[in-house]
Amino acid sequence: MPDFKDSQTLGNLVEQFSRDAQSIVRYLLFARAAEYEGLREAADLFRRLAQNEAVYAEGHLEFIREAYDPVSGQMFGETADNLAAAVFSEEEDVAGLDPDYARIAESEGLGAIASWLRTVALAKRDHLGRLRAISRVTVPAEHAEARES
């Protein structure tokens, strides 16, 4: 049997997961715009499409989970692993990507975007703290030790 972790199929699923996950947010934004414009039918359609995209993204993720979390690169599935994957990706954002992105936007004269990115970074720091706190009370000690070794 071919190795799924090294397959082009896994790469394709990860790409499709990313596209579908982004489509969910886009369609919800489109629905709000249509609602604001009084176009109820279009708003309803965009919401239904967002729900469909969520089903597709979750389906892709069910296969991808056999290999790794496409965001953090960590294993996931059980709550303890999911918490570890979430902490890992939030740590990366807080430590590097978010501050760098805000600095770049500021240096390019895009102050409003830099401000937005700093606000998001603050929220992510909060997310990270909350994830760490729930991990300490939720994850049995023996599972946490096994994950760390």
Q: Do the Cβ atoms of 114 and 102 come closer than 8 Å?
A: yes
Using DSSP's 3-state secondary structure scheme, residue 43 falls into helix
* Most distant pair of Cα atoms in the chain: their distance: 56
Token reading at 93: 């954002």
Whole-number average pLDDT of the chain: 90
pLDDT tens by residue, 117-127? 999 989 999 99
Nearest by Cα to 88 from 78, 100, 73, 77: 73
Element (H, E) at 23: helix 8-36
45 pLDDT tier (thresholds 50, 70, 90)? very high
Cut 0.75: pTM above it: yes
Q: Do the Cβ atoms of 66 and 7 come closer than 8 Å?
A: no
Domain chopping of the chain, boundaries = 4-64, 79-148
Q: Looking at domain 4-64, which CATH architecture does it have?
A: Up-down Bundle (1.20)
